Amino acid sequence: MAATQEPFNPLSRVGWAKQLGETAPEFLRRVPPLTTLTSDGWIWCANPYARRDKKPEDVDAAYVTRMRQLLAAYIDKKTKIAQQNPTMAPGTITRRLLPERERLKDDIYEGAKKANMTCGKWMLFPTTADTPKVWLQVVEAVSAGKLGVMAKVATECKQSSNERLICIYTEDFTNVVDVRRQLETMADLHLVQRQGGRPIYYKADAYTCLDIYSDNPYGLKASQYSSKDIFAMPETKNKSAESRPQKRLTDGEFFKTRESPFKKR
Question: Does a structural domain hold residue 101?
Answer: yes
18: exposed, middle or buried (C-beta count within 10 Å: 0-12, 13-18, 19+)? buried
- The span from the CA of 49 to the CA of 47, in Å, is 5
Domain count, the chain: 1
Question: Does a structural domain hold residue 171?
Answer: no
pLDDT for 246: 35
pLDDT for 151: 98
pLDDT for 205: 95
Question: Does a structural domain hold residue 217?
Answer: yes
Q: What is the mean pLDDT of each run of 10 residues along the chain (265 residues)?
A: 76 97 98 97 97 69 95 98 96 96 96 94 98 98 97 93 97 95 98 94 96 95 96 69 37 38 54
Please state whether beta strands 166-170 and 201-204 pair in parallel, antiparallel, or not at all (unpaired): unpaired
Question: Does a structural domain hold residue 109?
Answer: yes
Q: Provide the domain limits for residue 253.
A: 66-119+205-259
Question: Does a structural domain hold residue 176?
Answer: no
pLDDT for 16: 98
- The span from the CA of 115 to the CA of 237, in Å, is 28
Question: Does a structural domain hold residue 53?
Answer: no
Question: Does a structural domain hold residue 247?
Answer: yes
Question: Does a structural domain hold residue 125?
Answer: no
